[in-house]
Structure 1
Amino acid sequence: MADAKSIYPRGEAMRMAVRWLSEMHHCDLETIEEACRRYDLTPCEEEFMLKRFLSADHRKVVKGKAE
């Protein structure tokens, strides 16, 4: 959900964050968190980015549990 204080049109910050990540040529926890900070993504958008771009093995470590 777009925040009324956002300087970007709805969804534009997410597109810019994905574009930035693709330019970085690797996705790890640190680069995803940096993209979320740079583009002021919502917690929901950050969760989507983490689920979508981290490998399954890394997600287990981040969550602190084995699946």
Structure 2
Amino acid sequence: MGDVPARLDDLPEADPLYVTCRGGGRSARVAAWLNQNGFDAVNVAGGMGDWEAAGKPMVSETGAPPTVV
């Protein structure tokens, strides 16, 4: 959350931004902040926990099996 304001130049301005976290609470606050600052941001409700529980595909950055903790 704290890195978002400093990294606005890294975000695409024309595309919707889907924001996620483990449970959905932090990403809701970030999505609201982005929307207030002119971005088209959508919170992924339920976060990665719900995504994993629904059996949706996940990958990790390391190649190890992905987990949500």
Between Structure 1 and Structure 2, which shows a larger proportion of helix residues? 1
Between Structure 1 and Structure 2, which shows a larger proportion of strand residues? 2
State TM-score, norm by structure 2.
Answer: 0.31
State TM-score, norm by structure 1.
Answer: 0.31
